[in-house]
Structure 1
């Protein structure tokens, strides 16, 4: 691929204390989000446990700031503690606990546990940066690129909506009202056109050129990775589903699954579209553009996690018809599957492999409807 991350140890002397300072603020926010529900009388073990680990993370960052703990040790303690807060707060939300508060005057209800989930996820990243010796400047650069990739991901969604209008209007003018089958065809054409336009446009804007796209003919090695990838992606899906089900939580259905249940005949167009359009174009944007761009500032393992986070965030809308707990459970599955796809791409440096694995996996989910 020819792209490597900038040094994790950025060596910016002026920002030497910035990372533990940021970590202290973020973990303090996490602890605040958890202590309010506790004071409200919520005594769920997951919430109480998350509060304890949040306090440990705050203590670790403070110990680093005041020279009590060395950088690696404080970073490790803070990272493990914050990661446990992520797990426990996510579990609490999936089990139906929200710890909501109402904003005065406005009347909005805000889930403090969701706030704890977001801030603890952020704190985990900051703690890893501390452990790796990244300076304040390096952390700022990485945060900026992450935000840029999130914007790029949502730009893909917007472009798909615009492409849908561009494709459907001439069809409506030509043939009148579209059938559900025709609308499904429009949707997939818009997916390819929208995601492809954003991906290519970003590459040209950054001056990378189309040579940045990693397309190679499959070799025996890549074919093996395709088979292994499908096994891993189904295995990850089963494992996550078992964990979520074991916790007594149901995941939300993708909006497309609900559509197919109402009209099984749509599977005829959905299955090939998954392999020929959805898999290739989503992987083009989220792996070959987003993940590969992240290699410039993140290590490759970190880039896989960050790209998967972007992929998960932009899929929120696909599950938004269910409750918060079920949506979160589904997004965890999306995140796990994205980790597998990201790893396959990183191992092969060939877009064709994750594109086919992604497309075939999606298609296989709908094959049972053909019987």
Structure 2
């Protein structure tokens, strides 16, 4: 594969870099301080809508869509966006809206696209995704207890979901809910996905969940209950029993996006670490020259480069072979990249001393984001298990062919 940016990707990369430098970087620190100072931080500040309008007018909008860019072309753009906590929304490329939009693009009916996808892609509404449950090990989707049951021309939804990212946003209008429909069906045909408007009777946000004390306003992660929630049967996506299929299709590109944003986050952390190490002195020396910090910085650069190449390879495989040809590689990046980013952010915090723990720098928030993604979209152990299964399967085939015991 060619690692050079395509002409289209290079053009977007230049324009997004300039937009972030000119429009987002100058206001982001003040934006966060202003939001956190509010009695109610669950709101959209005017500057966000202003920047969204500018990005949309500049054609820097919905770049995650496969009809706009391939995974390989989008990956370096996601990296740029990952350097900022607000850039993804500015370009209408923030999770979980990107994943939900892709679900509706590939699996949604024309009615669902008109009612939900069109305003989502316009940036007029936001969305959430309900999969993880508090009472079961949700790393195994077959454990899911929440239900999606057909009742005449309606679907009845019951259960409880948590870490439903984006549910706190004031413009969040719907949740894509995954639940159990037929417990006796094949394990990959038991579940269904359904669109649930957040204002439907029976939907209740029980609480917003802090992560290491951060609430990620105005998006947030919610604990949401669904009690005898009734929606039209046409809100089922693609058909009853296709939830697992949709989830697998959704999570492939989504993991590319997450990992490339994390590489951007790691780049930002390393940049801050190097600036601090060269500008501060202790014991008569720059911090860079103390305690093995040069080696730590060098290893951080190597780790970022390794991760970037691994993700670009996975993106290329996804583009050329589909999810079936990239299963191992997608799991590899999901296990490797959050761990890499977490280690580099931790190193940057250490170089900043006590300041790294405060909100004077974005490092504490970066640590929270990187640590969370060792669990989100499947914990490390699940992805390592996938990689090991695929790797060992080759040897099982070889030993069987040689007449050895398996």
Bigger fraction of residues in helix: 1
TM-score by length of 2: 0.24
TM-score by length of 1: 0.26
